[in-house]
Amino acid sequence: MAFETVMVACFGISWPFSVAKSYRARTTRGKSLVFLLAIWIGYIFGVAGKIMQAVELGSVAYVFYFYVFNLIVVSADLILYFRNHRLDRMAMEEAGGERPREGSDEKN
């Protein structure tokens, strides 16, 4: 259980940085929807597994809360992905259907 806790805690430390980067970048460049969804689904199953374990054992393992935190943060990153995708589409429309150049100052 200790190794699992360290692993999930390390992911928990990393995800907020990813969310902050997504928020500031305002673009989907460098992000993979498939990757985010795979991670999100993994956390859904991790939370479900910990709930099933809690029902069996009669108590909730503390690592459960790390899974829930990570699920919330990855969900926020998914929401930002869709926001940024919309911003990318709007920028493309303003550029006449062409994708704006990397480093362009055109941000909404």
Q: Chunked in runs of 10, what are the mean pLDDT values of the chain (108 residues)? A: 90 94 96 97 97 96 95 97 96 79 51
Q: Report yes or no on 99 lying in a domain.
A: no
Instruction: Specify the pLDDT at position 52.
Output: 97
* Residue pair 66/73 in contact by the 8 Å Cβ criterion: no
Q: Report yes or no on 19 lying in a domain.
A: yes
Instruction: Specify the pLDDT at position 97.
Output: 72
Length of the chain: 108
Instruction: Specify the pLDDT at position 107.
Output: 47
Q: Report yes or no on 34 lying in a domain.
A: yes
Q: Report yes or no on 89 lying in a domain.
A: yes
pTM, 2 dp? 0.83
The CATH number of residue 27's host domain is 1.20.1280.290
Q: Report yes or no on 50 lying in a domain.
A: yes
- Give the structural domain span for 49: 2-94
Instruction: Specify the pLDDT at position 99.
Output: 63
Q: Report yes or no on 25 lying in a domain.
A: yes
Distances from the Cα of 62 to the Cαs of 40, 54, 76, 89, 93, in angstroms? Answer: 20, 10, 22, 42, 48
Q: Report yes or no on 37 lying in a domain.
A: yes
DSSP letters along 3-15, please? Answer: HHHHHHHHHHHHH
Instruction: Specify the pLDDT at position 108.
Output: 44
Q: Report yes or no on 86 lying in a domain.
A: yes
Question: Largest Cα–Cα distance in the chain?
Answer: 60
Q: Name 75's Cβ contacts closer than 8 Å, sequence gap at least 6.
A: 40
Number of domains in the chain: 1
In eight-state DSSP terms, residue 97 is: S
Instruction: Specify the pLDDT at position 36.
Output: 97
Instruction: Specify the pLDDT at position 43.
Output: 97
* Residue pair 88/57 in contact by the 8 Å Cβ criterion: no
Cβ–Cβ contacts within 10 Å for residue 56, how many? Answer: 8
